[in-house]
Amino acid sequence: MNVHSKIHADKGFSLLELLVSMTIMLAVMGIASSVLFRAYSVKNRESRTVDALTSAQAALNVISREIANAGFGMYEDINTKVPYNGIVIANSDTNRIRVRSNLDNSGGLPGAPAASTLLINAPGEDVTYYFDSANSSIIRHDPNGNGTGSPSTSFIVNKISNVTFKYFDYVGTSSEAIGPLSVPTANTARVVIVVDVVLDAVAGQPDNQTIKLSSEVTLRNNSYMLQQY
């Protein structure tokens, strides 16, 4: 081997080759970083989604249970004792529902709230649920919340964009539902609750994402339901 050939063999990479190699390495690192960032973003989103849905589902279970008990121990009049579904129609609509029940079974007439007829002064016997847009929350109001006759208002769950109540009526013995209705009636026997859960913003994911949770509640003390037993 002559001297010229030896020098050529030992000179290493050229500047162009180094630039090409660095460009390829940077591109690979950029792709890897993008994949890792996206994976972290998805993991973060899923974790927050699970937390939000768990809280909303727990709140939905509480609301469903209290609505299902509406009308317990109550009836329309003292003679026929027609069952009362427990929904206060004047205070209920698409975004609000007020239900009453006579859990300690004292009295039973919704039209005469006196001690001898309708005694609903215990916690949980007169409950209103409604959506508070200012705080993105579902509010629970109970005028007898602390057991001494003083009202109690509490946040059931936040990070909510809306809660809606849909009412379904059943007349006589017919199994055909009338609805959904935006307001309840004396024949309402089923309520569907829909909660829109707002997901926290996560980097790399679309903002203002919502997930709907729903619960279908049968008013077990409604006249139609009691005729099924």
pLDDT at 112 over 60: no
pLDDT at 167 over 90: yes
Domain ranges within the chain, ordered by starting residue: 46-226
According to the model, what pLDDT value does residue 115 have?
A: 45
Residue with the bigger pLDDT between 219 and 225: it is: 219
Kindly report the average pLDDT of the chain as a whole number: 79
| Radius of gyration over every alpha carbon of the chain, rounded to an integer in angstroms | 31
According to the model, what pLDDT value does residue 127 have?
A: 93
Segment 14-58, tens digit of pLDDT: 777 777 777 888 777 777 777 676 666 666 666 767 777 788 888
According to the model, what pLDDT value does residue 188 have?
A: 93
pLDDT band of 116, cuts 50, 70, 90: very low
